[in-house]
Amino acid sequence: NTATTSVVRSVDVLPTAKPSITGLVKASDTGVAGDGITSNANPTITGTGTALNTSVQVLNAKGEVVGAGASNGTDGAWSIKLATALTEGANDLTARYSSQAGGGPASAVATVTLDTAAPTFTAEASLSLDAASDTGATGDAITSIQKPTIKGSGAPNNSKVVVTFAAAGQTTQSVEVNADGQGNFTATPSANLSGSATGIKWSVSAVAVDAADNQSAAITSAVTVDTVGLAAPTITAPQSNLSVSP
């Protein structure tokens, strides 16, 4: 008798379905949520699809695989941290299912913009006590107003600016405002700044923040809050040798 041997071969086929890219995970989506702009060069991309427990590849505009993972077995969702860093600026990404036979058709393009450049104030930028809050001697940065208005200039046009008030032993406050089209802005603390008879000196700093949450170097100033005025004079009894004219 001649023995026979049967060989079973599995045939892998190319995927035909297309996954979809939905965006960035929250931890990778710096700045404004959902705007597709990040300062993270290796963000985690999220997506969905109909194929369960299936290999997923993320490709760049050149067709190069920049990240790989697998869809889950429940609803086909997937998340893949990019192994290859994004380039500065706009990056067009697609996703596809893959098997040993190769890669399937690519998804629609999703654009992720990498922005790692910090915004900057102009060389002439300034930060000071607004004239309306400058009680007493003009320009001495001393005020009796506990919610003084600070004015600034030189921020990137229409940018977000975070102004922080801090003093030793006091609660630090930060206020978020928007610069106008010329880079000017004003900020007022939301709660009273503490003062004293000798004055409490508050440091004031401002940083510009862009859409990717990059922050500029700070510009700084200071304001002293003096909440106790001079004591009112007291009239004592006149001396016996003084006369009062009619």
pLDDT tens across 69-103, in order?
Answer: 999 999 999 999 999 999 999 999 999 999 999 99
Contact present, 1 and 17 (Cβ < 8 Å): no
Give the pLDDT of residue 141: 96
Residue 111 has pLDDT above 60, yes or no: yes
Residue 243 has pLDDT above 70, yes or no: no
The model's pLDDT over 188-203, given as tens digits with 9 standing for 90+, comes to 999 999 999 899 999 9
Q: What stretch of H or E contains 124?
A: none
Residue 7 has pLDDT above 80, yes or no: no
- 232 DSSP assignment: P
The model's pLDDT over 11-57, given as tens digits with 9 standing for 90+, comes to 567 889 999 999 999 999 999 999 999 999 999 999 999 999 999 99
Read off the tokens for 180: 């106008």
* For residues 141-167, average pLDDT: 97
Q: pLDDT grade, residue 182 (50/70/90)? A: very high
Give the pLDDT of residue 136: 83
Residue ranges with strand state E in the chain: 20-24, 37-38, 44-48, 55-59, 65-70, 78-81, 89-99, 102-103, 110-114, 126-129, 142-143, 150-153, 160-166, 173-178, 185-187, 200-209, 219-225
Contact present, 68 and 56 (Cβ < 8 Å): yes
Of the given ranges (20-24, 70-74, 115-119, 241-245), which has the lowest mean pLDDT?
A: 241-245
Q: pLDDT grade, residue 3 (50/70/90)? A: low
Give the pLDDT of residue 239: 61
